[in-house]
A and B are shown apart, each in its own frame.
Chain A
Amino acid sequence: MEHIRLPKVDNVRLLDRISPRRNRVGTLYLTATHTIFVENEAGVRNETWVLHSLVCSLEKQAATASGSSLLIHCKNFQVLNFVIPRERECHDVHLSLQRLSQPERPDELYCFSYKPNIDAEERRPEWDFLDLRADYRRMGLPNSLWKLSSVNQHYKLSDTYPADLFVPESATPLVIVGSSKFRSRGRFPTLSYYSKENHAAICRSSQPLSGFSARCLEDEQMLEAILRSNPHSDFMYVVDTRPKLNAIANRAAGKGYENEDNYSNIKFQFIGIENIHVMRNSQQKMMEVCELRSPSMSDFLEGLESSGWLKHIKAVLDAGIFIAVAEEGVSVLVHCSDGWDRTAQVCSVACVLLDPHYRTLRGFMVLIEKDWISFGHKFSHRCNHLQGDPKEVSPVIDQFLECVWQLMEQFPCAFEFNARFLITIHSHIYSCQYGNFIGNNQRERTELGLREKTHSLWSYLWMNRADYINPLYRPDHSQTQGLLRPSTAPYCFKFWRALYNRFDRGMHPRQSVEDYLSAIQEETQQLKEQLASHKQKIAQLEQAQEWSVPQKAVPFDKSPTGWTFCNDLANTPQDYTGGFFTSSPCQPRAPITLQTEESNKTSKSILSNGSDQESGIADVSCRSPLSEDSTRDPDSDEATYSAS
């Protein structure tokens, strides 16, 4: 690879953020796709893999006597601090990584080199796994009120919209084209969700080009047609998700919002969700707080407050609730400026609240495919997949995933999937390992030939769904039914430690209720089957009147199988002392619990890789990680989940 100036550096130190006791020394390798740190300790093969596409920023700090420090921030919130002995080497690693982590052309993206030797024919079932038309059929569409329109075939009307769009039956092509000309980027009002029970629809669009006084008859007719598609309601809501001031400011640029006087029977509503720049800064501030070395409780809470992050999450959820509640009878048109950020958030949150189907594993994937991918959320720009404008980057989808997580915390039995599912989706949105989140819209994705050349995350997740099932979910539970009515009192919002401090393993609960329950659930299932088959056999035996052979069951071990309890527990004391013990004249003897941890490390890392260090590099680039396991350090607590 021409970008790798230095493939290997020895004697590199990986600093632990919390405790200097856990600093590690090893060798750093740069491959075409990953940075790999291999710890040198006799008998230990402990590796840390970081995908280049996950690297978010690199900071080279001034050289000191012990070496030059390179700080790597990743998009999945991993932070790595390497100290490289020689300034020169650090410089080379820095430059190489800078280039490797910022591809200039789409074909350099990791998804095109990930498991490449599979032809399009074999990839097809992966991509056919989710079918948006099937989801619209599930909603009962097309029907007498809504039709599938071909106006946007070949992306002629709006190049950021999908080809297949549902519009009111009464909307003529003329009306659609007229309305489209009156909307930013041609994104005319179109259907996002339809409730077959009460005929109410959630529609989405971009802002109208109304300026101070402009009108558009076709656009007014378009809204009229949407209103009439809901026979039970004599008005509809138009929701502008922006703060009112922002919307007014847009009028000066010839854009703006709907005038209630020009549109018949609409109720217009502003919902102040801030723009992508505010959100980007907010997340950055929050991450600074998360990365403080040993903050006091007050530092943390003050920082969290001043970042404003939870306030923004609450705003998105509040907006989703407004729409979901309105949707119990009244149709809603949602827009923001371009209709691909806040609009996507709000429509998808409303769908999660409204429809239990979107709270299932498959339904949730369909929802992201529909409201985010197909409607043109600009993943490439927002996630900075390619070298681009830093002002376009924004954690809009992070906020959606977090809203869902906040809902899961309030309704532990309502979702078929668990938080690990959300976190896995989050990291693959940024990893570029799968083709799903490449490009900014359907047109770009078709041009890139992603379906032919890359793999789909959805079928990967589905194949591994056992890892992502919430054991508390039951389709017949009361929390599972109908509309979710969450509270958005401020105290209901929590900080999402499992995502933002994901790699600080000392912070997480040491035992997982969920894994325990999953193990129990699996075993319960097996036992039920066993019991059923025994009963059947008994019945057969009775029939054959062979009473002399009693059934004997397998002796039962009363601990869930494959569940590694001791490993989870083997934690070490936290830093309660403020450095007291390390400076104390009486150095602690090798502690019992610490040893347990070390020995775990050893055994696990032996399992993790069989190849030797030298051949490691060549080996490594083709031995592409199957899952995100690669990006985490093999001795982390999470690793035990996959081992079990």
Chain B
Amino acid sequence: MEFSEYIKTANVEDVVLRQPLHPPGRGTLCITGHHLLFSDREEGSCRQVLLLLRNIDAIEKSVENLLTCYGLFSNAGLSQRLSGSSGTITIKCKDLRVLQLDIPGMEECLNIARSIETLSCLDSMSELYPFFYRPSNASLRDQWGLSSLERHYSQMKELHDRWRLSTVNRDFSVCPSYPQAVIVPKSTDDDMLEKVAKFRQGGRFPVLCYYHKKNGMVIMRSSQPLTGANRKRCREDEQLLQAVIDGSDKGYIIDTRSSQQALQARMTGGGLESKSCYSSWKRLQRQMERGKALQESLIKLVEACGDDSNNMDRWLSKLENSKWLSHVQTALSTAGLLAECVERDGHSVLVHGSEGTDSTLLISTLAQLIMDPSCRTLEGFLTLLEREWVQAGHPFQQRCAHSAHSHARLQQESPVFLLLLDCVWQLWGQFPLALGFSEALLLRLATEAYASDYGTFLGNNQQERCALGVKENTHCLFQALLRPRERDCYSNPLYEHTELAIWPSVHPQSLQLWRGFFLRWTPQIHHLEEAQEEIRNMVIEWGKLALSSCPAST
């Protein structure tokens, strides 16, 4: 790849960098194809800041021409005059950090700004950094990913009676956003699946996503049925769903749209499962915000957090107005409802909205965390994310193209994954001992989804990743997070396994702003991090003593 054409000025000396939590530093700025590198040249310090250009959401530049001062010296040459000018670039990152660079020289400043603008949103995926990242401690031949549906199926012996692994999608022709293998009822053959796929938006026919061992009930997910205005039916779709509840009296369909939205979808070819055709299924409409509205909510919240008017009324009204916490509440309570249907009420549930790639995944993931202790360990959680988000086809590339600071016109951006992480953080706050991972993991994932050294979140689905050769040419984030040093940092020292379901409280009083993420770059967070450090040390000390006091048993 030739990036050099985008880089007019690669190095600038004497740049001042201002960033949160650090005193300003003076040093050299360097732009490469993927990074912004700043090295502090101040006496006695050798700080380096390496920023992935992909992490930059928006930049603002202002140049100050000091010609007026220099106008007095009429004999001063042009180059000298330009060097008397200077510029400031404000960099707003997708991880919500805001940096400022004071650059001597207007031309240099404009060149740097132009390079950042171009290189931070390269369109071609194969030019992205993960394809160039070659850490010394890992090899491209290392295992990629944690699990696969094939492995998942073979491990779940309980499934084998009634469920089978289908490879009808092996060449992604039936459903471009599904993985090659999916789990479906044993009684449905691949021909049926192909017909059902034609009846569901984007070919996302109902597949199994969770099997509740305690009572054999399942969670299925799909996209909306394409009934359209003339209320088309699809026998195979009806049969497939009948096969799911086989034997039990009924199942629930949780539709993440309001009834009105669902009815309106008929006009554009979508629709819902009618009572008459799916008589043993009871539909529950639970409206969840999606798409643009969610992105705007994030933008408003981040804007509120950056407001420094120091006015309490204004803060609370902006917080309310952003509706972010309302979305957290809705997501958790819909997931709670889903888990309640399965665990308490003992029925199988089909979840879908319209496309089945966003809110559907959000609530099915949360419900699994609530019910299934095996998803709550560090590995378990990452495996869950891999299965339910990466392999299940959440379009990361589109959803995470920009974050809250971008001025670009919104296209497909939507912080659904961030909303998931926020909800998981709420669970973590209410059950601080039940989850095996730390807040640091959630923060890391929130950053990596938007800009990463790793290939894990590249592309929108498995088909795109296969075409790009992601597995062969990039490193896997999930594997990296499980290396011993990372594991120490990302595991929860207080974790204790519990078999019980963890039902979150969804009262407004119980839900909180995720300060660790939204206020991550304020100095107050430091004291909370110290407390986490203290907790870790206490547990370590206790563990060491416990070990040393029973040498006989070890």
Hey, which bits of chain A sit against chain B, CB under 8 A?
290, 294-302, 304-305, 308, 310-311, 314, 410-413, 471-472, 474, 477-479, 486-495, 497, 501, 504, 506-513, 516-517, 520-521, 523-524, 527-528, 530-531, 552-556, 558-559, 565-566, 569-574, 576-577, 580-581, 586, 588-589, 591-594, 596
Q: Is B545 interfacial (CB 8 A cutoff)?
A: yes
Q: Closest Cβ of chain A: how far from B440's Cβ, in Å?
A: 16
Q: Knowing that A588-B344, A592-B343 are A-B contacts, what are 4 other residue pairs whose CB atoms are under 8 Å apart, sorted by A's residue number?
A: A501-B507, A553-B551, A554-B549, A576-B337
Chain A residues within an 8 Å CB radius of B548 = 531
Of B336, B507, B545, B550, the residue contacting A555 (CB under 8 A) is B550
Q: Let me know if B326 and A296 touch, CB within 8 A.
A: yes
**Given A290-B509, A412-B527, also A531-B545 (CB < 8 A):** yes
Interface residues in B481-504 by Cβ distance below 8 A to A read 494, 496, 498, 500-504
> How far apart sit A420 and B351, CA to CA, in the bound complex (Å)?
42
Residues in chain B near residue A310, CB distance under 8 A? 312, 316
The residue that B523 contacts in the complex, of A413, A487, A511, A571, with Cβ under 8 A, is: A487
| Interface residue? B438 (CB, 8 A) | no
B250 at the binding interface (Cβ < 8 Å) = yes
Per-position contact with A for B527-554: 1 when CB-CB < 8 Å, else 0? 1101100110011011001101111110
Query: Residue of B at shortest CB range from A581?
Result: B345
Q: Known contacts being A491-B513, A506-B505, A553-B550, is A565 close to B496, with CB within 8 Å? A: yes
Q: Given A490-B310, A509-B429, A565-B496, is A574 in contact with B505 using a C-beta cutoff of 8 Å?
A: yes
Minimum CB–CB distance from A17 to chain B (whole Å) comes to 11
Asked if B530 and A413 sit within 8 Å, CB to CB, the answer is yes
Say yes or no for B3: interface residue by CB 8 A criterion: no
CB-nearest residue of chain A to B511 = A297
Would A566 and B508 count as touching, CB distance under 8 A?
Answer: no
Q: A499 vs B504: C-alpha distance in the bound complex, in angstroms?
A: 20
B134 CB, min distance to chain A CBs, angstroms: 39
Known A556-B550, A574-B504; judge A490-B316 contact (CB<8 A). Answer: yes
Which A residue's beta carbon lies closest to that of B551? A553
User: Is A531's CB under 8 angstroms from B509's CB?
Assistant: no
- Expressed in whole angstroms, the Cα–Cα distance for A508 and B313 within the complex equals 26
Our pick among B250, B336, B496, B498 for the contact of A573 (Cβ within 8 Å) is B336
Q: 29 A-B pairs, CB-CB below 8 angstroms?
A: A297-B326, A301-B317, A304-B316, A413-B534, A472-B531, A474-B534, A487-B522, A489-B308, A490-B311, A491-B513, A501-B507, A501-B509, A508-B505, A511-B430, A512-B432, A517-B538, A524-B541, A527-B546, A531-B548, A553-B551, A553-B552, A556-B550, A569-B500, A573-B339, A573-B343, A574-B333, A574-B336, A574-B504, A592-B344
B506 CB-CB contact with A under 8 Å: yes
In the complex, which residue of chain B has the Cβ closest to the Cβ of A513? B432
* A299 and B500 within 8 A (CB): no
Task: Give the docked Cα–Cα distance between A128 and B531 (Å).
Answer: 36
Q: Which residues of B contact A479 (CB under 8 A)?
A: 527, 530
Minimum distance in angstroms from A612 CB to a CB of chain B: 34
What B residues does A523 contact at CB under 8 A?
Answer: 542, 546
Contact B340 A576 (CB under 8 A): yes
B246 close to chain A: CB less than 8 A: no
Residues of B with C-beta under 8 A to A581: 340, 344-345
- Check if A471 sits within 8 Å of B500, measured CB to CB: no
A296 CA / B314 CA spacing, docked (Å): 19
Chain A residues near B430 (CB-CB < 8 A): 509-511
How far is B509's CA from A504's CA once the two chains are assembled, in angstroms? 10
Q: Mark B297-331, 1 if CB is under 8 A from A, else 0.
A: 00000001100101111111101100101101100
B503 to chain A, nearest CB (A): 5
Point out the residue from A294, A300, A507, A513 that lies within 8 Å of B494, measured CB to CB: A513
Taken together as a complex, chains A and B put the C-alpha atoms of A604 and B150 apart, in Å, by: 47
A555 to B553, CA, bound (A): 7
Q: Given A310-B312, A530-B549, A593-B344, are A491 and B305 also a contact pair (CB < 8 Å)?
A: yes
Given A295-B508, A472-B535, A573-B336 in contact, is the A524-B542 Cβ separation under 8 Å? Answer: yes
A207, B345: Cα distance in complex, Å: 66
Residues of A within 8 A of B339 (CB): 573
B434 at the interface (CB under 8 A from A): yes
Beta-carbon contact of B534 and A297 below 8 Å: no
> Bound state CA distance, A586 and B284, in angstroms?
15
Most buried by A among B343, B512, B535: B535
Bound-state Cα–Cα, A501 to B509, Å: 8
Select B432's contact among A295, A486, A511, beta carbons within 8 Å.
Answer: A511
B510 CB-CB contact with A under 8 Å: yes
Q: Which residue of B lies closest to A522 (CB)?
A: B542
Contact B527 A570 (CB under 8 A): no
Q: Which residues of B contact A577 (CB under 8 A)?
A: 337, 340
* B431 engages A510 (CB within 8 Å): yes
Contact in complex: B549, A553 (CB < 8 Å)? yes
Q: Report the separation of the CA atoms of residues A314 and B311 in the bound assembly, to the nearest whole angstrom.
A: 10
In the assembled complex, which residues on chain B have CB atoms less than 8 Å from the CB atom of A566?
498, 500
Give the interface centre of A300, A474, A491 by most chain B CB atoms within 10 Å: A491
B507 touches which of A490, A504, A524, A591 (Cβ 8 Å): A504
Query: A311 and B530: CB pair below 8 A?
Result: no
In the complex, which of the residues B315, B317, B339 has the most CB atoms of chain A within 10 Å of its own CB atom? B315
Is B27 on the interface with A (CB-CB < 8 A)?
A: no
Query: How far apart sit A553 and B550, CA to CA, in the bound complex (Å)?
Result: 6
Q: How far is the CB of A450 from chain B (nearest CB, A)?
A: 37
| A contact residues around B316 at 8 Å (CB) | 301, 304-305, 310, 490
User: Which of B346, B531, B546 is close to A589, meaning CB atoms less than 8 Å apart?
Assistant: B346
- Complex CA–CA separation, A571 to B328 (angstroms): 21
In the bound complex, what is the Cα–Cα distance between A506 and B336 (angstroms)?
14
Provide the residues of chain A in CB contact with B546, threshold 8 Å: 523, 527, 556, 558
Let me know if A298 and B323 touch, CB within 8 A.
yes
A556 with B513, Cβ < 8 A, contacts A305-B313, A471-B538 known: no
Complex contact A511–B344 (CB within 8 A) = no
A310 to B429, CA, bound (A): 22
- Give chain B residues whose Cβ lies under 8 Å from the Cβ of A569: 431, 434, 498, 500, 502
In the docked arrangement, what's the CA distance between A314 and B313, Å?
11
Complex Cα–Cα for A527 and B334 (A): 46
Is B530's CB under 8 angstroms from A524's CB? no
A592 to B542, CA, bound (A): 35
Residues in A with CB closer than 8 Å to B345 are 581, 586, 588
- Cβ of A490 and Cβ of B510 under 8 Å apart? no
A311 & B549 in contact (Cβ 8 Å cutoff): no
The answer to whether the Cβ of B519 comes within 8 Å of any Cβ in the partner chain is: yes
Interface assignment of B4: CB less than 8 Å from any CB of chain A: no
In the A-B complex, the 9 residue pairs with the smallest Cβ-Cβ separation, listed nearest first, are: A490-B315, A300-B508, A576-B336, A412-B531, A305-B316, A301-B320, A311-B312, A527-B545, A576-B337
Q: Which of A412, A489, A507 is in CB contact (< 8 Å) with B509? A: A507
Minimum CB distance partner of B531 in chain A: A412
Is there contact, CB below 8 Å, between B549 and A531? yes
Question: A365 → chain B, closest Cβ, in Å?
Answer: 24
B371 to chain A, nearest CB (A): 11
**Least Cβ–Cβ distance between B397 and chain A, in angstroms:** 31
Distance between A553 CB and nearest chain B CB, rounded to angstroms: 5
Q: Known contacts A410-B527, A513-B432: does B542 contact A520 (CB below 8 Å)?
A: yes
Q: Smallest distance from the beta carbon of A518 to chain B beta carbons, Å? A: 10
Point out the residue from A508, A512, A531, A570 that lies within 8 Å of B500, measured CB to CB.
A570
Task: Quote the shortest CB–CB distance from A574 to chain B (angstroms).
Answer: 5
Please indicate the chain B residues that have their CB under 8 angstroms from the CB of A588 in the complex.
344-346
Q: What is the bound-complex CA distance between A627 and B523, given in angstroms?
A: 40
Question: How many angstroms from the CA of A300 to the CA of B319 in the assembled complex?
Answer: 11
Most buried by B among A509, A588, A593: A509
Contact across chains for A297 and B502 when beta carbons are under 8 A apart? no
B341-361: contact bitstring with A at CB < 8 Å (1 yes, 0 no)? 001111000000000000000
Report chain B residues within 8 Å CB of A314: 312
Query: How far apart sit A542 and B325, CA to CA, in the bound complex (Å)?
Result: 65
Cα distance, A628 to B2, chains bound together (Å):
73
Q: Write out the residue numbers on chain B whose beta carbons fall within 8 Å of the beta carbon of A510.
A: 430-431, 502
A587 CB → nearest B CB, Å: 9
